[in-house]
């Protein structure tokens, strides 16, 4: 049976490889710090559930200290034997095919294959099937990309290390911010938001509640840097108590459009560094906020469309 534990082990093995590659790279600017950072992350993925909570918390603090004090550096992966620009011109839009495999295969597993059995045994674990499908989809996409450009998986590993070195600690932002959302919910931030919303927004005005939820998702995402962090707070504060329970809104469609509203906030905030600041740095743009400035013209109309869709769909 393929379950989420296997995905964790594969991820942990990859982070362990990053640590070993850094420590053996003599040209690396900060090999020990990089090795410690990726090594700690590998330990958390490989054995986190077997470690005491206090130890896990301490290891997370270690990660934050390494990143916060600028401990990560860059190494020198193996030289490329092909020019990336020339490869991009030669393959054109076909380069997007491996990326499209990721959502397609994830949906295939989550919807059509989730209950498949072989010899009376489930093919995929009953828990977190979507995440299992996502992990497998990424592996299949890597294989497809290697076939498309006729390169070996070793080259894929080298290029992935180059990218991880360039992005650094920001690669963990989605994971950490999603965890931050859970922490906020557990500490009662959602209840505080609900109190403010009920005091300001008329409880019997559906459009006002939809507006508060969608705008709240976008604004909290801009503050926290990730829609996954904003989602549990806004859904616990406004979505579930006021829209689902109070107005009978459909929870599934409300959550889906709510997340899309949050993503509009992602397009407009420097807090989403891995989406907006890192690409500007990698592309060596003169304006570090150039990506955000270009995206605002799309984000605001898209948010307005999400508000209209939410109002028209979730109450049907």
**Mean model confidence pLDDT for the chain:** 85
Q: How far apart are CA 260 and CA 253, in angstroms?
A: 11
User: Rounded CA gap, 259 and 269, in Å?
Assistant: 16
Question: What average pLDDT score do residues 222-241 get?
Answer: 85
- Region of 120 (left: φ > 0; alpha: ψ -120 to 50; beta: rest) is left
Under the banding of pLDDT at 50, 70 and 90, the label for residue 2 is: confident
The confidence band for 160, taking pLDDT boundaries of 50, 70 and 90, is confident
Task: Give tens-digit pLDDT for 30-53.
Answer: 888 888 999 999 999 999 888 898
Contact partners, residue 91, CB within 8 Å, separation at least 6? 148, 149
Q: Give me the helices (H) in the chain, please.
A: 4-23, 31-47, 53-68, 84-91, 97-107, 129-149, 153-167, 173-186, 189-200, 206-224, 227-234, 245-247, 251-266, 273-282, 290-313
Higher pLDDT, 116 or 216: 216
Domain ranges of the chain: 4-68, 84-151, 172-313
pLDDT in tens, 82-110: 677 777 788 788 888 888 999 999 999 88
What percent of the chain stands above pLDDT 90? 33
Question: Which of the pair, 132 or 184, is modelled with greater confidence?
Answer: 132
Q: Tell me what pLDDT residue 79 has.
A: 64
pLDDT category at 307 given cuts 50, 70, 90 is: very high
């Amino acid at each position: 049976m393929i379950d989420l534990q296997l995905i964790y082990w594969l991820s942990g093995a990859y982070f362990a490889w990053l640590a070993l590659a850094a420590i053996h790279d003599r040209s690396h600017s900060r090999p020990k710090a990089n090795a410690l950072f990726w090594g700690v992350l590998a330990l958390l993925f490989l054995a986190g559930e077997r470690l005491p909570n206090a130890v896990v918390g301490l290891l997370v603090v270690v990660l934050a200290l390494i990143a916060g004090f600028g401990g990560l550096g860059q190494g020198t992966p193996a030289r490329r034997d092909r020019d990336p620009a020339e490869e991009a011109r030669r393959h054109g839009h076909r380069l997007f095919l491996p990326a499209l495999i990721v959502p397609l295969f994830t949906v295939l597993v989550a919807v059509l294959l989730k209950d498949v059995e072989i010899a009376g045994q489930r093919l995929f674990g009953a828990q977190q099937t979507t995440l299992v499908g996502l992990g497998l989809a990424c592996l299949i996409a890597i294989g497809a990309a290697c076939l498309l450009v006729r390169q070996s998986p070793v080259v894929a590993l080298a290029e992935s290390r180059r990218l991880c070195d360039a992005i650094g600690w920001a690669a963990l932002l989605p994971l950490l911010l999603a965890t931050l959302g859970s922490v906020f919910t557990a500490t009662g931030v959602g209840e505080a938001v609900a109190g403010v919303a009920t005091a300001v927004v008329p409880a019997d005005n559906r459009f006002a509640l939809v507006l508060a939820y969608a705008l709240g998702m976008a604004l909290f995402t801009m503050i926290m840097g990730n829609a996954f962090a904003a989602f549990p707070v806004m859904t616990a504060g406004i979505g579930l108590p006021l829209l689902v329970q109070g107005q009978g809104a459909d929870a599934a469609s409300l959550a889906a459009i709510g997340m899309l509203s949050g993503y509009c906030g992602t397009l407009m905030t420097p807090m989403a560094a891995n989406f907006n600041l890192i690409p500007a740095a990698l592309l060596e743009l003169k304006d570090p906020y150039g990506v955000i400035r270009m995206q605002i013209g799309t984000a605001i109309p898209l948010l307005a469309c999400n508000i209209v869709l939410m109002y028209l769909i979730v109450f049907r």
